[in-house]
Every structure is written in C-alpha cells, then in structure tokens.
Amino acid sequence: MSTQESNKPTSQCVFEAVSAHLNELRAAITEPIRVREEDLATQLGVSRTPVREALIRLDSTGFISLRPGRGALLQPVSDRDYLEWLQLREQLEGFAAREAALNASQRDVLALRAIFEPFLEPGAAESKAAEYSQANVAFHTEIIRLANNRLLERVWASFGHRQTSYRRKTIARLHRSADSLREHLAIIGAIERRDADQAEALARTHVHELYVAVEQEAALKPSQALSN
C-alpha cells in the first residue's frame, strides 16, 4: 500500500468530520440552511464520495434531510430535540460520573475543580454568564472523557452538548447558575471520594433538575417556549 493510500481518510473518519462540522453549523443557526455536498468536501479537504455516504447516513438518523438535486437541509435544534437530549443525558451522565469516580486521579479532580475556580465568589457565576456557560460545557465534556469509554465519547460528540445547551443559554436564562455550580461541586466531591453510587445519583439529579426547569418554562410560555 502506498503512503498516499495509507494517509487517505477512512469513511468513518469522514463521517465523524462531517458530523462534527454540521454540529458546529447547527449550533449557530435558528433557521434551516442548505448544505451542499461539494462545499463540505472542499471545506473538509476530502473527496465527494465519502461525504455523500456520510450525508446518507445522517439522513437515515434524521439529523439532516436529503433532497435530490438540492443538497441537504440542516435544521436547528428543536425544542423537542433539546428535551429528549436532556432525557438521554440523564442516563449518559449518570454512567459517566460513576465511571469517573472509579477512574479519576487526584490530578483529574484538581482539574475539574479548576474549571469552576473563577466562579467561587458569591454571584460570580451569574455575573459571568458567558464564561460560566463555557465552563459548564468543559466540565461535562471532561466527565465524559473520564468515563474512559470511547463509544460514549462518540455519542456525546454526535449529539453535541454545546449546541443544545451553550447556544440556548439555558443556565443563565433559567437563573440556575448558583444551583448549577453547587451541583457541579457536589459531583466533583463524590468523584474525589470515589463514591461511585453518589456520583451517579448526583449527576442524574443534576440533569433531571435542568429537564424539569426547561419543561416548566415551556409550559408557562407555550408560544415562545425555549426560544433564545
């Protein structure tokens, strides 16, 4: 096999690259946009055939809608998508926190605490909403990494925590910054104590509380539920 052939990206690599790219696009849109196969191939530096295959796979999952001769239609995250993702997150993050409690080193624990160090002063999480939102994404991504489960990491990346939480500014909008910080620190404490049962329970409760808050907001404001 030639060096050029060995360096050629696999179909799975292209699929993951296309998925990641479309997730980033989806994070920034509020209206459907058209995605062209040739544009994706050019942007990713690959041939059109694996990009076409990736789009067909994504169409089968409902992530995009392929339209013959007109490219793919990429939809923004819907309200139902977000609530369903929170339901799934409750299960995923419970598992991840349990595994993190079993796997994390003291250095890992210190790194988790460092994420929230800028927000420990009373009111800091609320006054630095954008920064706290980014810290929130970093924390949850790190918990997933500490689970040391590659399939879980791929699922997480595919559904895109950033696009469904960061873009919606959920924590700030629902005034959950103080509660969120307290819950995050409690999860870190359980991980540091190697208390897998407690870490799992706290992580599940953390996501469930967010789900309840979002659902209640939707019920109170049906005409503009979950809008940014």
Predicted local confidence at residue 6, as pLDDT = 45
Residue type at 129 in one-letter notation: A
165 vs 215: which has the higher pLDDT: 215
Instruction: Give the C-alpha distances (Å, rounded to integers) separating 194 from 128, 189, 197, 200.
Output: 31, 9, 9, 11
Confidence check: pLDDT of 228 > 60: no
Q: Which residue ranges make up each domain of the chain?
A: 3-74, 79-220
Predicted local confidence at residue 170, as pLDDT = 66
Is this prediction's pTM over 0.85? no
CATH among 1.10.1040.10, 1.20.120.530, 1.10.540.10, 3.30.930.10 for 79-220 = 1.20.120.530
Q: In percent, how much of the chain has pLDDT > 70? A: 85
CATH number of 3-74: 1.10.10.10
Confidence check: pLDDT of 222 > 60: no
Confidence check: pLDDT of 163 > 60: no
**C-alpha span between 169 and 226 (Å, rounded):** 10
In the three-class reduction of DSSP (H, G, I as helix; E, B as strand; rest coil), residue 223 is classed as: coil
174 vs 90: which has the higher pLDDT: 90
Predicted local confidence at residue 3, as pLDDT = 41
CB 196 within 8 A of CB 101: yes
